[in-house]
Structure 1
Amino acid sequence: MRSLAIAATVFGLLAPTAGFAHHGWSSYDAEKVIKFTAPLTAVSWRNPHGAAQVAYQKQNWTVILAPVARMEARGLTEAMLKPGETVTLEGYPRRDGTTEMRIERITVKGKTVELR
């Protein structure tokens, strides 16, 4: 019984650390919301997070989406995000100036989906 309690305590201490190590959202500037409309050039429908590429103002942007299950639960499907599809993206840019953003919401074909 004692070893079970120790194992539970260790897991409880390590589980939050794994979550923080995975996300690293602090590299995005939540004080600076950006929004633009652009065509998708590539889409990766995968976990732990989907991703896409867009061409905006002569730059290629990497777009960090939500986990697949969350996107699908909120009505965003892989079929909606195809290269060439124009989308409106709203999210946070990276603090270091890299052309990458963490998306909070996406509008495609007139439908807005909250991703966080």
Structure 2
Amino acid sequence: MSLQRRHVLIAASALPLGVHAHHGWSSFDADRPLYLEGTVSKVRWQNPHAELELELSAALQLPADLAQRAVPAQTAPVDGRALLAKTVLPTRKDRVWEIELAPLTRLQAWQVPEIKPGAALSVVGFTSRDEKGAAVLLAEYLFVGSKAYGLRSSPA
């Protein structure tokens, strides 16, 4: 093995797991938004994006007011009302989901306070197109207390 290749392998092995799994929006099903709600069990507040492990509520259901919730405008063309109106619960039965948030600079632009284990929150986002593999959700909207944050782009 060349010295250069060995250095690349050593450097890659030192990266956190989330860096190896980083991907864009194209692998997610943006036509089927999902709703999750629960308690945060783990947090990785780092780039390329913050990640949470969310333990779902035992009696997960769509909130009656979800489609009427106010969501902030983003610089990306996201129709928040339409997205919330077509949001559904996941078909898979995983109790723990990995939630991919935005990069830290975008979370700072939205003034999202650092989330800690034990926090209760809900999220609307997208899972993989075939819903196979790990239970991962790419967050579009994050709801913490009475505050909603849009995460696809910066605040409009």
| Structure 2, unaligned runs of 5 or more | 1-21, 59-93
What number of residue pairs does the alignment pair up?
93
Match of 1:41 in 2: 41
Greater RCO, 1 or 2 (C-alpha within 8 Å, sep 6+): 2
Is residue 97 of structure 2 the alignment partner of residue 61 of structure 1?
Answer: yes
Give how far 1:83 is off: 0.8
SS at match of 1:26: helix
- The AA in structure 1 aligned to 2:144 is V
- The AA in structure 2 aligned to 1:36 is L
Is residue 128 of structure 2 the alignment partner of residue 88 of structure 1?
Answer: no
Partner Cα separation in structure 2 for residue 76 and residue 70 of structure 1: 9
* Structure showing the higher helix proportion among its residues: 1
Give how far 1:82 is off: 1.0
SS at match of 1:37: strand
Partner Cα separation in structure 1 for residue 120 and residue 140 of structure 2: 17
CA contact (8 A) 1:28 1:94 kept: yes
Give how far 1:40 is off: 0.7
TM-score relative to the length of structure 1? 0.73
TM-score relative to the length of structure 2? 0.56
Counterpart mapping for 1:93-108 below 5 A: 93-97=127-131, 98-108=134-144
| Structure 1, unaligned runs of 5 or more | 1-21
Deviation readout 1:57-115 (Å, 9 max, x if unpaired): 5521010100001001111021xx11111101000012232311100010112111111
Moved over 6 A (4+): none
Match of 1:5 in 2: none
SS at match of 1:23: coil
SS at match of 2:37: strand
Give aligned-pair identity as a percent: 33
SS at match of 1:75: coil
Partner Cα separation in structure 1 for residue 37 and residue 98 of structure 2: 14
* Structure showing the higher strand proportion among its residues: 1
Partner Cα separation in structure 2 for residue 71 and residue 24 of structure 1: 17
